[in-house]
C-alpha cells in the first residue's frame, strides 16, 4: 500500500550539505510490523517523516495506495497526516496544557468529528492502552510509559492505516519498553506499523520484518515486498480547525500562564484607560459647555424691536454686566474722553412689516429654539363681581427690557396702574413644550389649553401689584393675601371695539358705559386658568407681572379689530379720534396698535439654538438689510455678540491632542502584544509541530495564535474600560471639590464598546506577524525543538 521510490533528501546548512536519504526504495504491505534499524544519523527519522508527510522529499516518489504524491498540495498532505497516519515519537510530544483526553481528541477535533463521538472514541482508545483512570490528568502528572501510551492512543484515535513510531521506547526502561512493544505489536495486527529503533533485540523479538539502514539507504531487508501494483483509492477527508477549537486551545494555554497574561492585558489596557478617561471628561465638559451656552443664549436673545436703540459698545456692556458673561473693556490712555449719551444711543425706527415677518418666519428652523413676538393691544375687558360689571383697566407693554412701556391712549382704560398685559410666544414650529411649560411653573390651575385661557404671572415671592388685583375686581381693602383658588377660574369678557365704543354726534368715539349689557352679549370670554411663576432655573423673565396670554390671541384680536369702525376712523385721521387731540406720527401708531389696528409686533425675540447658529441667524438678519438705505434697515440687538464663544471647538482640540498622546500608549501596547505573542510562538513551537503532525493546516496554526491575541485583546479592552469606569468616580469627586461641577466624567457606552473593539483590533494586528511566523514553521523542526 505504501511505496518509497528512489527517495532522496538532503539538508543544507550554510555551505554544508548533508545527505539524509540517498535513494531509498522500499515497499510496505497493508498489514505488517516493520522495524527500521540503523545507527543514529543514518536517516531513519528523515524517512519516517517523509512517509508520514511531515517532511517533503527532494526527488523520487512516495506512492500511497497506487497514487503518486508528486503533485500533492499542502491540503492533501494535511489530510493525509490527519486521516491515514498516526505518529508516535520518542519524546511523546503531548500538548502539556491540555488534559490526556483533550490530547487524544485533538486529531479528531481537526477532522471535525462531533463532540460526543470524539469523547467516546478517545475513551475507547485510552481504555485500550490501559489509561481509563487518568482521562483528566495533565501529561506532566503521568510517568514516561503512561505518556507514551497516551501518544499511542492519540495515534490510534483517528483509526489511521499507518502508525509511524520513532524510537517509541527510547526513553523508557526495559520493563516499560516491553509493555509498550506489546501494545504496538497488538496494534500491528490490523495496521501497517513502521517503527524506527536502534535496539536490535526489541526488533527481533517483536517485528515481522527488519529493514537495516545505513548512510541514507537500505542495506538489508528481511522480508522485502516486491509486488508494486495496488490501486485501492482512498479519499482523504480534508481537515480544518474551527475557531472555537483554536479559542479553547489558546484559552487553556493562557490559563497556564495567568499572571503573565493578566499583566500583559493590564499593560495593554493603559492606553485604553487613558483614552476612555479623556473621552469621558470631554464628554462631560462638552455637556457643561452646551448647557452654559443655551443658558447664555436664553438670557441674551436677539431682539428686534420697533423702537430699536442703536446701542454703542459701552451701553451694551452695561446691559451685559447683569449677566454672568460680563467682560469689561479697558482703554489705555492718559486722557479723559467726553461723550454725549444722547448722541451715542440713537433710536432707530424699525419697520416690522409683513415682509420682514415673513422673512423671519422663513428662517431655518434648525437654527432657532424659538421666536417670540410681543404685540401691544389694549383689550376691552369686563369683570363681573356679584351683580356689578366693571371695566378692567390695563397697562400694556413689555417688561423684559426694563419697565413697562406704556401707551397713552387717552381712552381712560389704560393707566400705569392697570393690569399688566403681556403675550408669550405661541409654540414655535415643531417645539414639544410651549413657551410657558418651558419657563414657568404652574402654582395653581393648569397650563392654558386654548387661546382664551390666560395666566396670572406673579414674581418669585408670589407677589403681585395690588392695583392689578383691584383692577381685576378683587377686593384689596385690608387684604394681605388672596388664595390661588379664588383667582384660578376668574372669567373676563372681551368686548369688541364696535360694541365697546360709540360714535358721538361730534364725530369722535367714546367708550360706552352699559357694562352689564355688554357683558351679557360679549362674544368672547377669557379665563384665568393658572397662576404661574418663573421656573427657578430659568434666567429670563419675559412676562411681566399681571396677565399673560398667547400671542395667537392677540393675532386673533388684531385680525378682527383691524376692520372696526374706530380703527378705520383712526387710520384716516391725524387726531386722536377719542380726545380729538392732535397726534404725531409715533403716537398715532401707538394708538392704532393699542386699538388693534396694527398687526406689526412691538418686539421680536429670537432664541438661537447655540452660538454657531446664532452667527448664522445674525448673518441672515444682516442679509435683509443688504442694499437697503438706512431708513428701511431693520436694526437688531444682539446682546450675546461679544460673549466669549466657548464653543466645542476648543474642547475638541484639547480632546484630540490628549487622545493622540494616549494613543501612543496604545501603540506601545500593540508592540508589546506582538512581542508577547512572539514569545508564545517560541514557547509553543513544539505544540505547533504536534498539531501539524496531527493534520493541522498552516491556517489553523495562525488561528491558534490569533485566538490567543483575541483573548488578550478582549481582556485588556474590558479591563481598560472597567478601570476607566471605576476611575470616573474619584475623578468626578476631585473635579466636584475643585469646581463644584458634579458628574463631569461620564463614560459613553458607545465609546466603551469602540475602545474594546480598538483594543481587539490592535492586539490582533500586533499578534498577526508572529501568528504568520508560527504558521510558516517547518513541522519537523518544530517537533525537534525543545
Ligand atoms: P536518524 O534518525 O537515523 O538518527 P536523521 O534522519 O535524524 O537520522 O538524520 C539524518 C542526517 O540528516 C543526519 O546526519 C542529520 O544530522 C541530518 N539532518 C536531519 N535533519 C536535519 C536538519 N533539519 N538540518 C540539517 N541536517 C539534518
Ligand atoms: Mg532519529
Supply the pLDDT for residue 348: 75
Counting from 1 in the atom list of ligand 1, the atom nearest the Cα of 40 is: 4
**Alpha carbon of 208 to ligand 2 centroid (Å):** 21
Q: Is 699 helix (H, G, I), strand (E, B) or coil?
A: helix
Quick one: 356 and 215 in the same domain? no
Work out whether strand 209-214 and strand 217-221 pair parallel, antiparallel, or are unpaired: antiparallel
pLDDT digits (tens, 9 = 90+) for 550-561: 888 888 999 899
**Alpha carbon of 376 to ligand 1 centroid (Å):** 107
**Run of H or E residues at 621:** helix 611-625
Compute φ and ψ for 493, nearest 5 degrees.
-105, 135
pLDDT of 429 strictly over 60:
no
Query: Which of 188, 210, 238 is the last residue before a domain boundary?
Result: 238
Q: Among the bound ligands, name the one nearest to the CA of residue 785.
A: 1
**Alpha carbon of 223 to ligand 1 centroid (Å):** 26
Give the mean model confidence (pLDDT) for residues 476-500: 91
**Alpha carbon of 186 to ligand 2 centroid (Å):** 24
Ligand 1-lining residues (CB < 6 angstroms):
11, 13, 18, 20, 38, 40-46, 781
Distance CA 455, CA 530 (A): 5
Q: Among the bound ligands, name the one nearest to the CA of residue 41.
A: 1
Residue to substitute in 13, 37, 42, 43 for testing ligand 1 pocket (most ligand atoms within 8 angstroms of CB): 43
Distance CA 302, CA 365 (A): 15
**Run of H or E residues at 676:** helix 648-683
**Alpha carbon of 774 to ligand 2 centroid (Å):** 24
Quick one: 448 and 596 in the same domain? yes
pLDDT of 586 strictly over 80:
no
Residue to substitute in 44, 46, 168, 218 for testing ligand 1 pocket (most ligand atoms within 8 angstroms of CB): 46
Supply the pLDDT for residue 235: 66
582 secondary structure, DSSP code? B
Query: Which of 586, 609, 632 is the last residue before a domain boundary?
Result: 609
Supply the pLDDT for residue 328: 55
Q: Which of 319, 369, 347 minimizes the C-alpha distance to 643?
A: 319
Least confident of 68-82, 102-116, 473-487, 602-616: 602-616
Assess if residue 557 is contained within a domain. Answer: yes
**Alpha carbon of 339 to ligand 2 centroid (Å):** 109
Is residue 138 a contact partner of residue 127, using CB atoms and an 8 Å limit?
no
**Alpha carbon of 488 to ligand 2 centroid (Å):** 105
Compute φ and ψ for 597, nearest 5 degrees.
-100, 10
Assess if residue 774 is contained within a domain. Answer: no
Residue to substitute in 11, 14, 21, 48 for testing ligand 1 pocket (most ligand atoms within 8 angstroms of CB): 11
pLDDT digits (tens, 9 = 90+) for 51-92: 999 999 999 999 988 889 999 999 999 999 998 999 999 999
**Alpha carbon of 781 to ligand 1 centroid (Å):** 11
Residue nearest to atom 21 of ligand 1 (CA): 11
Residue nearest to atom 24 of ligand 1 (CA): 11
**Alpha carbon of 129 to ligand 2 centroid (Å):** 25
**Alpha carbon of 44 to ligand 2 centroid (Å):** 6
Quick one: 232 and 355 in the same domain? no
Longest dimension (CA), the chain: 151
Assess if residue 265 is contained within a domain. Answer: no
Distance CA 100, CA 129 (A): 12
Domain count, the chain: 2
Residue nearest to atom 17 of ligand 1 (CA): 20
Residue to substitute in 41, 168, 784 for testing ligand 1 pocket (most ligand atoms within 8 angstroms of CB): 41
CA dist list (Å): 44 to 81, 188, 195, 207, 691: 18, 19, 9, 16, 22
Q: Is 453 helix (H, G, I), strand (E, B) or coil?
A: strand
Q: Is 607 helix (H, G, I), strand (E, B) or coil?
A: strand
Which CATH number belongs to the domain containing residue 34 in this structure? 3.40.50.300
**CA geometry: angle 596, 601, 607, nearest 5 deg:** 150
Strand partners, 347: 309
Strand partners, 68: 63
Residue nearest to atom 12 of ligand 1 (CA): 20
Counting from 1 in the atom list of ligand 1, the atom nearest the Cα of 166 is: 2
Counting from 1 in the atom list of ligand 1, the atom nearest the Cα of 47 is: 6
pLDDT digits (tens, 9 = 90+) for 605-619: 888 887 778 888 988
Supply the pLDDT for residue 342: 58
Greater confidence (468 vs 234) lies with 468
**Alpha carbon of 42 to ligand 1 centroid (Å):** 8
Distance CA 106, CA 81 (A): 13
Strand partners, 638: 302
**CA geometry: angle 544, 546, 549, nearest 5 deg:** 85
Assess if residue 386 is contained within a domain. Answer: yes
Q: Among the bound ligands, name the one nearest to the CA of residue 168.
A: 2
The distance of Cα 156 from the centroid of its chain, to the nearest Å, equals 52
Distance CA 749, CA 758 (A): 14
Q: Among the bound ligands, name the one nearest to the CA of residue 783.
A: 1
Per-state percent for the chain, helix, strand, coil, to nearest 5: 45, 20, 35
Q: Which of 586, 557, 589, 760 minimizes the C-alpha distance to 666?
A: 760
Give the mean model confidence (pLDDT) for residues 502-529: 90
Residue nearest to atom 26 of ligand 1 (CA): 11
pLDDT digits (tens, 9 = 90+) for 527-546: 999 999 988 877 656 777 88
Q: How confident is the model at residue 694 (pLDDT cuts 50, 70, 90)?
A: very high
Strand partners, 8: 22, 59
Q: Which of 504, 632, 476 minimizes the C-alpha distance to 580?
A: 504
Counting from 1 in the atom list of ligand 1, the atom nearest the Cα of 44 is: 3
Q: Which long-range contacts (CB under 8 A, 24 or more apart) does 111-118 make?
A: 111/82, 111/83, 111/158, 111/237, 111/239, 111/695, 112/239, 112/240, 112/242
Burial bucket for residue 203 (CB in 10 Å: 0-12, 13-18, 19+)? buried
Counting from 1 in the atom list of ligand 1, the atom nearest the Cα of 781 is: 23
Assess if residue 711 is contained within a domain. Answer: no
Counting from 1 in the atom list of ligand 1, the atom nearest the Cα of 216 is: 10
**Alpha carbon of 244 to ligand 2 centroid (Å):** 35
Residue nearest to atom 16 of ligand 1 (CA): 41
Least confident of 226-240, 241-255, 563-577: 226-240
Q: Which of 111, 174, 173, 122 minimizes the C-alpha distance to 152?
A: 122
The residue count of the chain comes to 786
Taking each helix axis from N to C terminus, what angle separates 115-128 and 144-157, rounded to the nearest 10 degrees? 130
**Alpha carbon of 40 to ligand 2 centroid (Å):** 6
**Alpha carbon of 45 to ligand 2 centroid (Å):** 4
Assess if residue 660 is contained within a domain. Answer: no
**Alpha carbon of 24 to ligand 1 centroid (Å):** 15
Sheet with 217-221, strands from edge to edge, namely 85-88, 162-166, 192-197, 33-38, 209-214, 217-221
- Domain, as residue range, for 9: 2-238
What value does the mean pLDDT of the chain take? Answer: 85
Greater confidence (563 vs 662) lies with 563
Residue nearest to atom 14 of ligand 1 (CA): 41
Distance CA 494, CA 568 (A): 20
Greater confidence (640 vs 523) lies with 523
Q: Among the bound ligands, name the one nearest to the CA of residue 91.
A: 2
**Structure-block grid coordinates of residue 699:** 491556517
pLDDT of 382 strictly over 70:
yes
Q: Which of 92, 101, 158, 157 minimizes the C-alpha distance to 134?
A: 101
Q: How confident is the model at residue 164 (pLDDT cuts 50, 70, 90)?
A: very high
**Structure-block grid coordinates of residue 756:** 474594546
Supply the pLDDT for residue 316: 53
**Structure-block grid coordinates of residue 159:** 483509526
**Structure-block grid coordinates of residue 740:** 463644584
Q: Among the bound ligands, name the one nearest to the CA of residue 780.
A: 1
Counting from 1 in the atom list of ligand 1, the atom nearest the Cα of 780 is: 23
Count the neighbouring beta carbons within 10 Å of the beta carbon of residue 52.
24
Q: Is 485 helix (H, G, I), strand (E, B) or coil?
A: helix
**Alpha carbon of 313 to ligand 1 centroid (Å):** 95
Which residues fall within 8 angstroms of residue 592, CB to CB, at 6 or more apart? 567, 570, 571, 598
Residue nearest to atom 1 of ligand 1 (CA): 41
Supply the pLDDT for residue 403: 31
Assess if residue 550 is contained within a domain. Answer: yes
Helix ranges, 401-444 (H): 435-439
Compute φ and ψ for 379, nearest 5 degrees.
-110, 135
Residue nearest to atom 2 of ligand 1 (CA): 45
Supply the pLDDT for residue 398: 40
Is residue 376 a contact partner of residue 593, using CB atoms and an 8 Å limit?
yes
pLDDT digits (tens, 9 = 90+) for 714-768: 999 999 999 999 999 999 999 888 887 888 888 899 999 999 999 999 889 988 9
DSSP collapsed to 3 states, 101-146: HHHHHHHHHHCCCCHHHHHHHHHHHHHHCCCHHHCCCCHHHCCHHH
Quick one: 360 and 224 in the same domain? no
Counting from 1 in the atom list of ligand 1, the atom nearest the Cα of 46 is: 6
Strand partners, 260: none
Supply the pLDDT for residue 311: 55
Query: Which of 221, 238, 255 is the last residue before a domain boundary?
Result: 238
Burial bucket for residue 236 (CB in 10 Å: 0-12, 13-18, 19+)? buried
The string of DSSP letters for 214-265 reads ETTEEEEESS-----------PPPPP---HHHHHHHHHHHHHTTHHHHHHHH
Helices (H) and strands (E) in the chain, counts: 26, 27
Which residue is associated with the grid cell 432655573?
537
Q: Among the bound ligands, name the one nearest to the CA of residue 44.
A: 1
Assess if residue 627 is contained within a domain. Answer: no
Counting from 1 in the atom list of ligand 1, the atom nearest the Cα of 10 is: 12
pLDDT digits (tens, 9 = 90+) for 167-202: 999 888 999 999 999 999 999 998 999 999 988 998
Counting from 1 in the atom list of ligand 1, the atom nearest the Cα of 784 is: 23
Residue nearest to atom 11 of ligand 1 (CA): 20
Q: How confident is the model at residue 322 (pLDDT cuts 50, 70, 90)?
A: very low
Q: Among the bound ligands, name the one nearest to the CA of residue 37.
A: 1
Q: How confident is the model at residue 203 (pLDDT cuts 50, 70, 90)?
A: very high
pTM of the model as a whole: 0.62
Residue nearest to atom 25 of ligand 1 (CA): 11
Q: Which of 187, 155, 30, 158 minimizes the C-alpha distance to 83?
A: 158
**Alpha carbon of 682 to ligand 1 centroid (Å):** 22
**Structure-block grid coordinates of residue 633:** 434697515
Supply the pLDDT for residue 402: 31
Burial bucket for residue 266 (CB in 10 Å: 0-12, 13-18, 19+)? middle
Amino acid at each position: 500500500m505504501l511505496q518509497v521510490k528512489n527517495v532522496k533528501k538532503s539538508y543544507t546548512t550554510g555551505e554544508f550539505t548533508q545527505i539524509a536519504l540517498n535513494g531509498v526504495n522500499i515497499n510496505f504491505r497493508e498489514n505488517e510490523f516493520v522495524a527500521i534499524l540503523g545507527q543514529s544519523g543514518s536517516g531513519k527519522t528523515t524517512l519516517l517523516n517523509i512517509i508520514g508527510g511531515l517532511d517533503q522529499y527532494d526527488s523520487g516518489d512516495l506512492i500511497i495506495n497506487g497514487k503518486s504524491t508528486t503533485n500533492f498540495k499542502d491540503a492533501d498532505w494535511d489530510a493525509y497526516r490527519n486521516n491515514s497516519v498516526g505518529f508516535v515519537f520518542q519524546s511523546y510530544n503531548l500538548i502539556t496544557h491540555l488534559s490526556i483526553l483533550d490530547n487524544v481528541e485533538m486529531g479528531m477535533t481537526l477532522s471535525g468529528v462531533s463532540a460526543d463521538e470524539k469523547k467516546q472514541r478517545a475513551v475507547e482508545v485510552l481504555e485500550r492502552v490501559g489509561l481509563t483512570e487518568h482521562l483528566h490528568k495533565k501529561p506532566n502528572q503521568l510517568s514516561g510509559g503512561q505518556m507514551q501510551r497516551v501518544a499511542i492512543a492519540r495515534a490510534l484515535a483517528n483509526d489511521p492505516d499507518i502508525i509511524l513510531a520513532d524510537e517509541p521506547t527510547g526513553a523508557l526502561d526495559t520493563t516499560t519498553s516491553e509493555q509498550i512493544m506489546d501494545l504496538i505489536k497488538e496494534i500491528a495486527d490490523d495496521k501497517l506499523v513502521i517503527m524506527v529503533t536502534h535496539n536490535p533485540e526489541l526488533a527481533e523479538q517483536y517485528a515481522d520484518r527488519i529493514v537495516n539502514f545505513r548512510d541514507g539507504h537500505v542495506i538489508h531487508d528481511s522480508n522485502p515486498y516486491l509486488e508494486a501494483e495496488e490501486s485501492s483509492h482512498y479519499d482523504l477527508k480534508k481537515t480544518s480547525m474551527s475557531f472555537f477549537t483554536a479559542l479553547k486551545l489558546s484559552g487553556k494555554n493562557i490559563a497556564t500562564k495567568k499572571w503573565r497574561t493578566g499583566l500583559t492585558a493590564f499593560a495593554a489596557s493603559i492606553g485604553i484607560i487613558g483614552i476612555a478617561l479623556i473621552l469621558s471628561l470631554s464628554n462631560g465638559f462638552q455637556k457643561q459647555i452646551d448647557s452654559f451656552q443655551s443658558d447664555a443664549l436664553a438670557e441674551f436673545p436677539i431682539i428686534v424691536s420697533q423702537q430699536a436703540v442703536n446701542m454703542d459698545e459701552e451701553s451694551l456692556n452695561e446691559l451685559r454686566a447683569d449677566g454672568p458673561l460680563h467682560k469689561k473693556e479697558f482703554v489705555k490712555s492718559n486722557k479723559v474722553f467726553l461723550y454725549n449719551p444722547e448722541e451715542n444711543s440713537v433710536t432707530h425706527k424699525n419697520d416690522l412689516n409683513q415682509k420682514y415677518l415673513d422673512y423671519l418666519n422663513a428662517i431655518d428652523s434648525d437654527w432657532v429654539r424659538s421666536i417670540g413676538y410681543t404685540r401691544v393691544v389694549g383689550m376691552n375687558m369686563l369683570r363681573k363681581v356679584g351683580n356689578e360689571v366693571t371695566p378692567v383697566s390695563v397697562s400694556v407693554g413689555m417688561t423684559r427690557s426694563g419697565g413697562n412701556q406704556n401707551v397713552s391712549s387717552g381712552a381712560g382704560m389704560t393707566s400705569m396702574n392697570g393690569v399688566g398685559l403681556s403675550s408669550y410666544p405661541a409654540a414655535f414650529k415643531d417645539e414639544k413644550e410651549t413657551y410657558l411649560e418651558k419657563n414657568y411653573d404652574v402654582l395653581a390651575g393648569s397650563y392654558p389649553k386654548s387661546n382664551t385661557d390666560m395666566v396670572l404671572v406673579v414674581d418669585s415671592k408670589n407677589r403681585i401689584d395690588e392695583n392689578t388685583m383691584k383692577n381685576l375686581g378683587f377686593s384689596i381693602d385690608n387684604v394681605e393675601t388672596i388664595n390661588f383658588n379664588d383667582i384660578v377660574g376668574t372669567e373676563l369678557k372681551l368686548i369688541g371695539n364696535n360694541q365697546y365704543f360709540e360714535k358721538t354726534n361730534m364725530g369722535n368715539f367714546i367708550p360706552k358705559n352699559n357694562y352689564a349689557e355688554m357683558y351679557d352679549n360679549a362674544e368672547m370670554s377669557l379665563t384665568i386658568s393658572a397662576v404661574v411663576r418663573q421656573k427657578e432655573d430659568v434666567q429670563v423673565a419675559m412676562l411681566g407681572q399681571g396677565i399673560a396670554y398667547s400671542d395667537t390671541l392677540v393675532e386673533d384680536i388684531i385680525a378682527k379689530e383691524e376692520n372696526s369702525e374706530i380703527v378705520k376712523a383712526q387710520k384716516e385721521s391725524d387726531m386722536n379720534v377719542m380726545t380729538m387731540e392732535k397726534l404725531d406720527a409715533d403716537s398715532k401708531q401707538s394708538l392704532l396698535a393699542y386699538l388693534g389696528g396694527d398687526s406689526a409686533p412691538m418686539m421680536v425675540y429670537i432664541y438661537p439654538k447655540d452660538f454657531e447658529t446664532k452667527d448664522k441667524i445674525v448673518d441672515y438678519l444682516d442679509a435683509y438689510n443688504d442694499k437697503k438705505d438706512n431708513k428701511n434697515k431693520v436694526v437688531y440687538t444682539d446682546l450675546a455678540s461679544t460673549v466669549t464663544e466657548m464653543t466645542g471647538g476648543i474642547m475638541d482640540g484639547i480632546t484630540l491632542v490628549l487622545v493622540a498622546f494616549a494613543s501612543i500608549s496604545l501603540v506601545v501596547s500593540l508592540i508589546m502584544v506582538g512581542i508577547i505573542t512572539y514569545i508564545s510562538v517560541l514557547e509553543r513551537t513544539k505544540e505547533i509541530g504536534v498539531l501539524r503532525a496531527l493534520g493541522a493546516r498552516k491556517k489553523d496554526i495562525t488561528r491558534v495564535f490569533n485566538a490567543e491575541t483575541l483573548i488578550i485583546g478582549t481582556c485588556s479592552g474590558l479591563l481598560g474600560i472597567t478601570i476607566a469606569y471605576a476611575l470616573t468616580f474619584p475623578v468626578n469627586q476631585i473635579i466636584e471639590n475643585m469646581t463644584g461641577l458634579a458628574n463631569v466624567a461620564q463614560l459613553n457606552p458607545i465609546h466603551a464598546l469602540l475602545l474594546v473593539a480598538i483594543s481587539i483590533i490592535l492586539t490582533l494586528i500586533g499578534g498577526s506577524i508572529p501568528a504568520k511566523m508560527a504558521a510558516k514553521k517547518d513541522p519537523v523542526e518544530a517537533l525537534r525543538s525543545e
